[in-house]
Amino acid sequence: MEKIISNIVYVASGIPATLELLLGGVVLGFTIGTVFSIMRYSGICSWFISGFISIIRGTPVILQLSLVYFALPALMGVRLNLLTAGIIAFGLNSSAYVAEILRSGIESIPKGQFEAAKTLGIPVFPMWKDIIMPQIVRNVFPAMVNEIIALLKETALIATIGGMDIMKMSQSIAAEQFEYFVPLCIAGGYYYSLVLFIEYIGKKVEKEMSYVKNS
């Protein structure tokens, strides 16, 4: 029992790294994804963005992660620390999916909304910020929560290149004690709790944002 508790505490020391990767990845991914989706819709560099999305979606995340961490230093002469490399890789990966989710969101908005903004003399930036995006966010919110959850689970791949996250901590206990079941279950418990938390927050925000109230 005591051993299990000490395992629980030890694996918990990987939570900060996992959260940093998740947060960094979400911020980077959602920022780039949003910019890309608007640029592509407006026909700015759309061929580049389409190519980027196609390649990102068409190759394994672990390959992208290894490229950023191992190959980039050799090519460009910059040495990234593990967390930075992880955030860049996961962020870029996520941005492709976010851009696709937003594309479906943009296409769900009637053309007339863009035209109404135009006839009222609303410039492009405020139109996207205040008219189009708030509607899109409501439409694609469940898909976005899904993407965040997927990203959280993907961060476990950082363990393969030595990142000290939840997964790696449980693996190192396992390797030390030749006992797999308990440490892996503990890691699973942490991931699952985090996912439940994200779902909970997501539901709250979704309810808060809704302007269609059936009261």
Partner 1 sequence: MLKIHNLCKKFNSEKVLDNINLTIKKTEIIGLAGASGGGKSTLLRCIQGLEIPTSGTVECDGKIGFMFQDFQLFPHMTVLQNIIYSPTLKDREKNYEEKAITMLNKLGIATKASEYPYNLSGGQKQRVALARSLMISPNVLLCDEPTSGLDVNATNDIVNLLKNVQESDITMIIASHNLEFLSKISDRIILLKNGKVAADIDAHKEDAVNQLMTCWDFQQSQ
Query: Binding residues for partner 1, per CB under 8 A?
Result: 110, 112-113, 115-116, 118-123, 126, 130-131, 134-135, 138, 211-212
At closest approach, how far in Å is the CB of 167 from partner 1? 40
At closest approach, how far in Å is the CB of 132 from partner 1? 10
- List, as own/partner pairs, every contact residues 202-208 make where C-beta atoms lie below 8 angstroms and the sequence separation is at least 24, other chains included: 202/141, 202/142, 202/145, 202/148, 205/141, 206/141, 206/142, 206/145
Cβ–Cβ < 8 Å for 158, 68 = no
At closest approach, how far in Å is the CB of 136 from partner 1? 10
Determine the 3-state secondary structure of 88 from DSSP. helix
* Cβ distance to partner 1 smaller for residue 57 or 129: 129
At closest approach, how far in Å is the CB of 211 from partner 1? 5
C-alpha–C-alpha distance, residues 154 and 161, integer Å: 13
At closest approach, how far in Å is the CB of 109 from partner 1? 10
* Cβ distance to partner 1 smaller for residue 130 or 176: 130
C-alpha–C-alpha distance, residues 131 and 115, integer Å: 11
**Integer angstrom CA distances of residue 214 from 102, 149, 203, 207, 210:** 27, 29, 17, 12, 10
Sign of CA dihedral 169, 171, 177, 181: positive
* Cβ distance to partner 1 smaller for residue 126 or 142: 126
* Cβ distance to partner 1 smaller for residue 58 or 121: 121
Cβ atoms < 10 Å from Cβ of 189: 13
* Cβ distance to partner 1 smaller for residue 58 or 110: 110
